[in-house]
Amino acid sequence: MSGLIGQNLGRYRIIELIGEGGMATVYKAKDTRLEREVAIKIIRPEAFPPDQLDTILKRFEREGKSLGGLSHPNIVSVLDYGENEGLPYLVMIYLSGGTLKDRLGKPIPWRDAVQLIIPVAHALEYTHEHNIINRDVKPSNILMTEKGQPMLTDFGLVKIFEDKAATNLTATGTGLGTPDYMAPEQWAGEATAQSDMYSLGVVLYEMITGHRPYTSDTPAGILLKQVNEPLPLPQKYIPDLPQNVESVLLKVLARKPNDRYPDMRSFANELQDLLEGREVTATTIKIKRLREQMTGKVERQPQVDQNHVEQSRNVYIEQNGNKTPALESPPDRPKRKFPILIAAFGAFILLFACGLCWFISANVKLFAVAKTPTQQALTLFTAVDIPATEMIQTTLLPIETPAPIETPIPVEIEDEKNIPMRLVPEGEFTMGNDTGDVESRPASLIYVETFYIDKYEVTNEMYGVCVFTGTCRLPRKSGSATRSSYFNNPVYANYPVIYLDWKMAKTYCDWRGARLPTEAEWEKAARGVDDMRAYPWGNNFDCDFANHSGCIGDTAPVSQYDQGQSPYGVYGMSGNVWEWTNSLYSFYPYSSTDGREDPDASGNRMARGGSWHIFGGTGGNIRIDTRFKLDPTYYGGYVGVRCALTK
């Protein structure tokens, strides 16, 4: 491309190279007819596979036509469109002030930064009104005039909201963007106007603090940090930064699009209010709670008001005469906030509030009119196919309450992919039980070496990173029992991944440098101490401890049940989803050397932990010692995975 310098493209004489990006090369040129300097952007054919070049050229042409119809004082105008030896080029206004990227590297006073970003926000507001998403908002795409005014450019990744004919052009580029500035949902190809807002928020954060929120050597590393790490508080870098400025940054950089501003106009108005000293909407209870979470003052997941839950249950029992009210989750519907007015309105309003209340991230359960087990089973069996397999279930006999045993202090690490794992120390424990099923699992004393196990079930977000790298396959289905959109839906990012067969689960753990746990390891991590407890938390069962048998009617967030942790601080080892283990089905006593841990052997593999599905009776299939025998090729809407790691 350097050979173009000094040549003419039509009426444009190429003067010098300005820059080279992933898709195109930009030159400074002179319009010989109008005697003015222009910038010419020419596609780089060598940057794309030959079989995709035609598609890229069409996308580039569409960029010219899209931008040619835009007219905004803070958008770089497209003046002309042409071709050179079959390669298209765009002619744009030449700006000599460089880019915003040239001005970064150290903090900019927040007022100056906000004043500079407001015109860009209005430019994006304008493009969104014309059904265009930029999808690559970053400092190098914000050009500066001689007078220091910002101009938004490079719409090479635009997506026309309602242009159905353009679908085939964006299909191969749905995840395009610059990783450091991409919104979480954009990794899954779901870029929206809210994604541009997030990217502009990253730019503003970098201007004010001198740092980008998340950095890594690889795109996957950035996504992992977005998933697993809280946003570094801006005041960490700028201690005297006003709290309302920090609150605005927290809101615009919220992980979920619905937690950000509703549109670019609202964001721009909020920034203007900051400059003029007016109160901003970001100083809400929700943002304050988010700040507390990021500073470690509260748990990352909001806590359920247990007093409220217990009082609601008592009211339900009093009104309906049922000792064990069932819980039902309707198919996806907008989650609504409803104030809890216990003292003012009494028990009847409590019941009504419980009927309407569905807290964000499914942290408060919906109490509904109880169905009989048969009715509930019929409902769920129509939603999920049950495999031709066998669950080996324990006979539920009265359990004596054991003497109190000291609970170990959880020890946590992160693996090489920054996934939190809990330490399970070496030692003997009693595996299985003697309550009936002696043919397959009489109680026996087993020794396990020290290992680590995932703190949570593998989530849609975690698994999505592996898919992004090309190592893992997409789940066999993208929905769930009651949700048509599940795996690629940011709303369910913190929910367990499902529809994985055994090989897919193993591939994921291998990718992380980990492995599937053995049955013995899984049971030790769930039981924790040798007291023969029925569940990881003890012997009492209800929906405050685990997701099962009508509690929700589908999967729940992996970090929802604080009360259901095992003694080692592991979440979700009862209920929510069955979890694949490495172990082949075989009778007890368990032995790791009898061939059952051979990953290449054929035969049924064991799943552990039970699920949300009503299969085996209330509380029956989520006991620590319950086993599920599955064909390794099976995949279902209630089977997931967690990984283990040898110390």
Residue reference for tokens 């990253």: 202
The closest of 83, 81, 85 to 38, measured between CA atoms, is 81
CA dihedral 504, 506, 512, 516 (to 10 degrees): 140
d(CA 584, CA 505): 15
Q: Say how far apart CA 290 and CA 313 lie, in whole Å.
A: 29
Q: Measuring CA to CA, which residue among 572, 607, 569, 249 is closest to residue 410?
A: 569
Helix (H, G, I), strand (E, B) or coil at 187: helix
- Tokens 């690490």 sit on residue: 413
Give the strand pairing for 12-20 and 24-31: antiparallel
**Cα(280)–Cα(267) distance, integer angstroms:** 10
Q: Are 606 and 628 in contact (CB under 8 A)?
A: yes
* Token pair listed for 436: 């009936």
* Spatial distance between the Cα atoms of 406 and 402, rounded to a whole number of angstroms: 12
Query: Rounded CA gap, 220 and 515, in Å?
Result: 20
291 three-state secondary structure: helix
The DSSP 8-state label assigned to residue 453 in this structure reads E
Give the distance from CA 427 to its chain's centroid: 36
- Residue that is written with structure tokens 């191969």 in the block: 172
Q: C-alpha angle 304/309/312, rounded to 5°? A: 155
Calpha distance 268→274 (Å, rounded): 10
Among candidate residues 360, 342, 358, 362, the one with its CA nearest the CA of residue 350: 342
Concatenated DSSP letters of 340-374: --HHHHHHHHHHHHHHH---GGG-S--B-PPPPHH
Burial environment of residue 166 by CB neighbours within 10 A (0 to 12, 13 to 18, 19 or more): middle
Rounded CA-CA distance 421/452 in Å is: 6
3-state secondary structure of 612: coil
Distance of alpha carbon 304 from alpha carbon 417, whole angstroms: 30
**Rama region for 617: left / alpha / beta (φ>0; ψ in -120 to 50; rest):** left
Cβ 70 vs Cβ 126: under 8 Å = yes
Residue 364 exposure: Cα atoms within 13 Å on the Cβ side: 25
Catalytic machinery residues? 136
Tokens 């900051």 appear where? Answer: 274
Coil, strand or helix at 279: coil
